[in-house]
Amino acid sequence: MQTITDILGPAGPLAAHVPGFAPRAQQQDMAEAVTRALESDEMLIAEAGTGTGKTYAYLVPALLCGKKVMISTGTKNLQDQLFHRDLPTVRKALGVSTSVALLKGRANYLCLHRMENALLDARGHGRERLRWLLQVRKRYLEQIRPPGT
């Protein structure tokens, strides 16, 4: 099995399938950090400059981890680029058929108020969905109030 560094390296599937792809050490480092965060269910905040290859650095681990992953973008243009161009390119290069969905509009975003309302009205949720909502709320609250504060 190839490592993330191999996949993003000069002889990896992205180099073979993406015209103009160039391996970048910063991209490989970020992809390794994303992989570790996904494997250990930890939060990761990563910042990198333009041209670093951030998109592939998070898409490759996200597609290979076998978990549900949500990616949020700052603009609809970036969302369209990610969903219609980058995601199909990486999926094809990796040979994965992971299911994906595109959500647009405020009605598709979760805010604390809507999440609390959903938790209060648990009638429409199965156990799995309720478990996910509770986990999202717990992680959110840990961000704004770290444990022990």
> Which alpha helices (DSSP H) does 22-126 contain, by range?
25-39, 54-64, 76-81, 87-94, 112-120
User: In angstroms, what is the C-alpha Rg of the chain?
Assistant: 17
- In this prediction, residue 146 carries a pLDDT of 65
Reported pTM: 0.72
Q: How far apart are CA 85 and CA 113, in angstroms?
A: 33
Q: pLDDT, tens digit, for every residue of 93-138?
A: 999 988 888 887 766 666 778 778 878 876 777 788 888 888 888 8
Residue 34 near residue 46, CB atoms below 8 Å? yes
Q: Mean pLDDT highest for which of 27-36, 49-58, 116-125?
A: 27-36
What type of residue is 3?
T
Which residues make Cβ contacts (< 8 Å) with residue 62, sequence separation at least 6?
A: 34, 38, 69, 71
